[in-house]
Chains A and B, each alone.
Chain A
Amino acid sequence: MLRRLRAADGRLLLLILALLFMGTLTLYSAGRGTSQSNLWMKQTAWNAAGLLLMTLMASVDPTRLFRKSLLIYAVGILSLVAVLLIGHRIGGAKRWLAIGSQTFQPSELMKWVTLLFVAHRLGTRPMDRVEGRDLLGAAAIVVFPMLLVLKQPDLGMALSFTPILLLLPLMKGLRKRTLALMLVMLPVIGVVAWKKVLRPYQKDRVRIFLDPERDPQGKGYQITQSRIAIGAGGILGKGFTGGSQTQLNYLPVKTTDFVFAVWAEERGFLGVLIALGLYGALLLRLLEGARAAKTLAESYYCTGAAGIFAMHIFVNVGMVAGALPNKGIALPFFSYGGSSTLSVFLALGVVMGALHRARIR
């Protein structure tokens, strides 16, 4: 057992523990005086379970996982189909599977499973022999579960699958022509998405993002209040449990999507710098792993993981400040949630496995 624990990457672990400490304090403060006052304890339990899973996973040879990735992917797809058929509905969206009294959100894990499978498929070929056919196949592997998730509907989650697609130009490199084509296609995709894919409430979110103060008591309320919380935090912040926006409940969904605003209000710009610095260090460590990885598949996996994490961090932290549209997407180590916590630690465990095999310190 001890030997297994030693497989965990020390630097990554330290970064994770620091972020968890900050996240737990924030969750305690956010839930204080409400019906969610013991949420931080629940989250701590999830975190503990997650850390254990991660260290166990770190000692597993990723190659063994890659070999079974098709099977895991197939089970994942089945679980997403099951969500659409017999899923648990909360607030107009079917995203959860109920096992006893516990609900589980398969899509949280599915993005990592998809990453695993795509990394495995592409990793079997040397880089200079990757062909367009392979890329199309990989894209299909990513887009299929994305469509299932969109059907739930869960745009935020679907969005967090997109960094996997980032792997494709990584394989093939980007020519200037392709880049130009993408720039042309982007508005076209945007218009099609606006007209056909986005649901009215999702369109509202985009409109509010463009002008949050237009309807401050209605749909823009969340962003307006979140920006007040962040701005009022100033440079040094209001101190632990000292923020009026959080403690007086002006801040909405403050234990999940908007939890970072609590941190920003209490710890100010300095706290934001520290948090973003830690996240940055974590992302760089993942990319370091990608560079040093023993196999292509492991490298792809590490890069994709960095992409997915970055997506979560940028979208959530940006959304909370009103720099990006209001999208329900969890912030790793801060937001409350069982499924996302366990998924994140499992994914990090795989990365740690790759780091261990690469023997970098």
Chain B
Amino acid sequence: MDARSRHLLSRRIGVVQVLVLAGLAFLVCFYGWLQIVRHGEFEKQALSQAVKERALPAPRGIIFDRNGDPLADNRRALHLVIQREDLPADPTVVTDLATALGLDPAETARKIRSFRQAPKGRPLVLMENLDEGGIALAERVRARYPFLSVQVAPRRVYLGDDLAGHVMGYVSEVDDQMMAKDPGRYQLGEIVGRAGYEDSGDAKLKGVDGEKRVLVDQLGREVASLDRTDPKPGKSLYLTLDAGLQRTAKDAFGDEKGAAVVLDLRDGGVLAMYSSPGYDPNLFLDRLSQEMVDRYLRNPVRPMLNRATQGIYAPGSTWKLLMALAGLEHHVITPHTVFYCGGHKSFYGHDFRCDATHGSLDLIGAIAKSCDIYFYEVASRLDIDQIYETAAKYGLTVPTGIDLPSERASRVPSREWKRRVKKEKWYAGETISVGIGQGAVGLTPLAIARFYALLATQGKEFTPHLFFGFQDPKTGQREPEPAPPTRQVDTANPEWWGVLHEGMAHVVESGTAATNPFVRQVAKEVPFSGKTGTSQVTTFVDKAHYAQLAKHLKDNSLFAGYAPTDKPQIAFAVVVENAGFGSEAAAPIAAKLIQYWFVDRIKHPLPPPGGRVPDAFHLEPGEED
């Protein structure tokens, strides 16, 4: 290379050197700007996309019966979920995804849209309670849509199946209506009690959800857990219900419709409450299928109705005890007043009939033989408002206050009631029908049971209740809570109780209930007292429906009372719809309940509900899911 070339080259390479150094200097400045000046901003972005909050759903409290056998427990369930930040926006993705999972695309799109306002951390549940096939499908679809994840969550299981559906109720995701009715109370996607004790005891049973912060990768998969606040499980508690007695009631009803309530005379605790037909709350945990809606919610038989607290039945002759008290308190009869029953009698120009021609009867005989004429005579001497006043005094005009949602108040007519509801004045002739528990009178089986508990205890008015106390699910340690207070209702003359008790004892010994051999057989072992009733079907379900349903419009059969006769421990009411005389259907069911409670329970107790043990979900701290 010649010297001139070398000289030229050297100068020009010098320029290249300067360019290279300038380029490097530019890069250093640019990186310094990103890594030093703007470091904080990028650090925050890196964290916010990698660290996510996830809700840890708290298991609900376990519900035990009075003997410590679980009625409602939790087990692990797997749900296919999408975290809120991963909700797909592209409608074709949503459609493909729904199709791949076998879901309705329009419904899925609606769900995703409405979930965008959901609180942080709570995922959208696409498919609930995956079974093995569901898990396999979910894993397959997840390969294509990695934003899907499978969440472990506690899920309710009702061990008795349809043993006490109406009492237990069920839980499910809060719906739009509930959200709208009580804004701010619920969070979207929250699991809440929707019926029965799950609803009324929701505050006790519900735990506090935990939360964890996790590292997620670019596909939204959890890579590591940073920290967590463990969920606080809801309080476990036990009810006054006895699963064995409940089973007896359910079995006794078979295919009949109606309700039975048994109350504990020590504190008003509900020992059994069965409404027939029953339902299995396990079927109501997920979104309801059309078939379920048709079968349960649109069924004219109304299986979801708790007939014990929401069914209004004409009490028929079980009402006669209230009429006796009304007559005594308003001094139109004494315990020794005798009326003559000629089989029929005319009041206000109408002919009223009795089942038989009883001849001369005093109050005890009239109760024992259930003479209608005697109580027509009592009613004809009373004003409807006097009857209402006595009914109000003995607690029949208000709801019982049981800790179950949507209890209906019984209906006892008065002048004011008729004016308000029917916009008409009261006719004295109407009072005569009320005398035998027909006409406008309508009581819930629970109200009847509470009235008979009051009769048995000489005026104790209980607040029927299901909640007994809290129970530690692991140690079984119990903390009973005080029962709701009782009220003493005093009559003008305590001797009257004796007369009424004698009348009710005669009903079983030799009166209207004694016609049934099974009733006689049980009464021999456990003497009990009560009153039969046979009432015409009234307004409980409208008549048009009934005409379609029932081929023959038989009367409702009722029996209410207490046992044992001497030192009463339980009171009960049984209503069997369209089953004829009280002694034919209702009294034998009551007898079965008495037989179980006082005889079989000790000798051969029924096995615990379901008899199967769930793999219980007791979240341990630090357990990874």
| Docked complex Cα distance between A293 and B5 (Å) | 12
Bound complex: CA A159 to CA B298 (Å): 74
Interface readout for A293-311 with B: 1 if CB under 8 Å, 0 if not? 1111001000100110010
Q: What does the 1/0 interface line of A270-310 toward B look like (CB < 8 Å)?
A: 00110010011001100100110111100100010011001
The contact of B50 among A170, A250, A317, by CB within 8 Å, is A250
Interface status of A244 (Cβ within 8 A of chain B)? yes
A290 CA / B15 CA spacing, docked (Å): 13
Pair B1/A268 contact, Cβ less than 8 Å: no
Contact A272 B215 (CB under 8 A): no
Of all chain B residues, the one with the shortest Cβ separation from A268 is B35
Judged by a CB distance under 8 angstroms, whether B487 is at the interface is no
A249-B217, A291-B9, A296-B1 known; A276 and B36 CB under 8 Å?
Answer: no
Q: Which residues from chain A contact B34 at a C-beta distance below 8 Å?
A: 227, 230-231, 321
B5 touches A128 (CB 8 A): yes
Q: Which residues of the partner chain B approach A169 to less than 8 Å between Cβ atoms?
A: 12
> Which A residues from 27 to 53 make CB contacts under 8 A with B?
none
- Which residue from chain A places its CB closest to the CB of B29 in the assembled complex? A323
- Bin chain B's interface residue count: 35 or more
For A306, the chain B residues whose CB sits under 8 A away are 16, 20
Contact of B20 with A280 in the complex, beta carbons under 8 Å: yes
| Binary contact track A248-279/B, C-beta < 8 Å → 1, others 0 | 11100000000000001000110011001001
B20 to chain A: which residues have CB within 8 Å? Answer: 280, 283-284, 287, 306, 310
Could you tell me the distance between the alpha carbons of A128 and B1 in the complex, rounded to whole angstroms?
Answer: 12
Q: Is B32 an interface residue (CB 8 A)?
A: yes
Cβ of B237 to closest chain A Cβ, rounded Å: 44
Q: Indicate whether A173 reaches chain B with its CB closer than 8 angstroms.
A: yes
Q: CB-defined interface of B210-252 with A at 8 Å, one 1/0 digit per residue? A: 0000011111000100000000000000000000000000000
- Contact status of A173 and B39, CB under 8 A, knowing A126-B2, A284-B20: no
Chain B residue at minimal CB-CB distance from A217: B89
**Least Cβ distance of B12 to chain A in Å?**
5
The contact of A287 among B8, B13, B27, B28, by CB within 8 Å, is B13
B36 close to A234 (CB less than 8 A): yes
Q: Which residue of A lies closest to B43 (CB)?
A: A232
Contact A280 B21 (CB under 8 A): yes
The 8 A CB mask of B1-39 against A (1 = contact, 0 = none) is 110110011101100110011011011101110111011
The complex places the Cα of A228 from the Cα of B12 at a distance, in Å, of 39
Q: In the bound complex, do residue A170 and residue B24 qualify as a contact, i.e. CB atoms below 8 Å apart?
A: no
Main secondary structure on A side of the interface with B = helix
A22 at the interface (CB under 8 A from B): no
With A127-B8, A284-B17, A287-B13 known as contacts, the answer to whether A233 contacts B35 (CB < 8 A) is yes
The A317-331 residues at the B interface (CB cut-off 8 A) are 317-318, 321, 323
How far is it, in angstroms, between the C-alpha of A247 and the C-alpha of B42 when the chains are bound?
16
Given the contacts A173-B8, A244-B215, A248-B217, A276 and B24 also touching, CB distance less than 8 Å: yes
Measured CB to CB, the closest approach of chain B to A219, in angstroms, equals 16
Q: A245-B46, A299-B1 given as contacts; is B35 within 8 A of A291 (CB)?
A: no
Chain B residue at minimum C-beta to C-beta distance from A310: B20
Interface centre among B10, B46, B47 (most CB of A within 10 A): B46
Cβ B9 vs Cβ A299 within 8 A: yes
Does chain B have a CB within 8 A of A65? Answer: no
Which residues of A sit under 8 angstroms from B27, Cβ to Cβ?
276, 314, 317-318, 321, 323
- Known contacts being A170-B16, A268-B35, is A127 close to B5, with CB within 8 Å? yes
| Set B1, B23, B215: member contacting A295, Cβ < 8 A | B1
A229 beta carbon closer than 8 Å to chain B? yes
Q: Is B49 an interface residue (CB 8 A)?
A: yes
In the complex, the chain A residue whose C-beta lies closest to that of B24 is: A280
Minimum CB–CB distance from A278 to chain B (whole Å) comes to: 11
Nearest residue (CB) in A for B44 is A232
- Supposing A234-B36, A323-B27, A323-B30 touch, asked if A249 and B218 sit within 8 A by C-beta, the answer is yes
Q: Are A231 and B42 in contact (CB under 8 A)?
A: yes
- The answer, among B1, B23, B43, B50, for a CB contact under 8 Å with A231, is B43
Q: Which residues of A contact B16 (CB under 8 A)?
A: 166, 170, 287, 303, 306-307
Give A11-70 interface residues, CB cut-off 8 Å to B.
none
A248 near B218 (CB under 8 angstroms)?
yes
Let me know if B542 is at the binding interface, CB within 8 A.
Answer: no
Assess whether A173 is in contact with B1, with CB atoms less than 8 Å apart.
no
Question: Nearest Cβ distance between residue A283 and chain B, in whole angstroms?
Answer: 5
CB distance from A7 to the nearest CB of B (A): 21
- Report chain B residues within 8 Å CB of A323: 26-27, 30
Q: Given the complex, which residues of A lie within 8 Å of B2, measured CB to CB?
A: 126
Counting chain B CB atoms within 10 Å of each CB, the highest count among A128, A231, A247 belongs to A231
Complex: chain A residue closest to B7, CB-CB: A127
Partner of B39 from the list A234, A248, A294, A314 (CB cut-off 8 Å) is A234
Q: Which residues of A contact B5 (CB under 8 A)?
A: 126-128, 296
- Any A CB within 8 A of the CB of B41: yes
**B45 at interface, CB cutoff 8 A:** yes
Nearest CB in chain B: distance from A248 CB, A: 4
- Would B223 and A170 count as touching, CB distance under 8 A? no
Q: How far is the CB of A163 from chain B (nearest CB, A)?
A: 10
Contacts of A150 in B (CB 8 A): none
Complex CA–CA separation, A194 to B516 (angstroms):
103
**Is the pair A235, B8 in contact by a Cβ cutoff of 8 Å?**
no
Chain B residue with Cβ nearest A272: B31
Contact residues in A for B31 (Cβ distance below 8 Å) = 230, 264, 269, 272, 276, 321
Residues of chain B within 8 A of A314, CB atoms compared: 23, 27
The CA-CA distance from A250 to B34 in the complex, in Å, is 18
Q: Which residue in chain A gives the minimum CB-CB distance to B49?
A: A250
CB distance from A124 to the nearest CB of B (A): 12
Question: A272 near B35 (CB under 8 angstroms)?
Answer: yes
User: Most chain-B Cβ atoms within 10 A of its Cβ — which of A127, A284, A295?
Assistant: A127
Contact B13 A249 (CB under 8 A): no
Contact A310 B23 (CB under 8 A): yes
Cα A229 to Cα B218 with chains together (Å) = 13
Determine the residue in chain B with the shortest Cβ distance to A248. Answer: B217
**What's the minimum C-beta distance from A62 to chain B, rounded to whole angstroms?**
13
Give chain B nearest CB distance to A301 CB in angstroms: 12
What is the CA–CA distance of A325 and B486 in the complex, to the nearest angstrom? 83
- Give the docked Cα–Cα distance between A307 and B16 (Å): 8
Measured CB to CB, the nearest residue on chain B to A238 is B46
Residues of chain A touching chain B, judged by Cβ–Cβ distance below 8 Å, are 126-128, 166, 169-170, 173, 227-235, 244-245, 247-250, 264, 268-269, 272-273, 276, 279-280, 283-284, 287, 290-291, 293-296, 299, 303, 306-307, 310, 314, 317-318, 321, 323
**Minimum-distance CB pairs A-B, first 8:** A231-B42, A127-B5, A232-B46, A249-B218, A269-B35, A248-B217, A234-B39, A244-B50
Instruction: Provide 23 A-B residue pairs closer than 8 Å at the C-beta atoms, listed in order of the A residue.
Output: A126-B2, A128-B4, A169-B12, A228-B42, A229-B46, A231-B34, A231-B41, A231-B43, A231-B45, A231-B46, A244-B46, A244-B215, A249-B218, A272-B31, A276-B31, A280-B24, A291-B10, A295-B1, A299-B1, A303-B16, A317-B27, A318-B30, A323-B27
Q: A235-B36, A294-B1 are in contact. List 13 more A-B contacts (CB 8 A).
A: A127-B9, A128-B5, A227-B42, A232-B45, A244-B46, A245-B50, A264-B31, A269-B35, A272-B28, A273-B28, A295-B1, A306-B16, A321-B30
Contact residues of B with A, CB < 8 Å? 1-2, 4-5, 8-10, 12-13, 16-17, 20-21, 23-24, 26-28, 30-32, 34-36, 38-39, 41-43, 45-47, 49-50, 215-219, 223
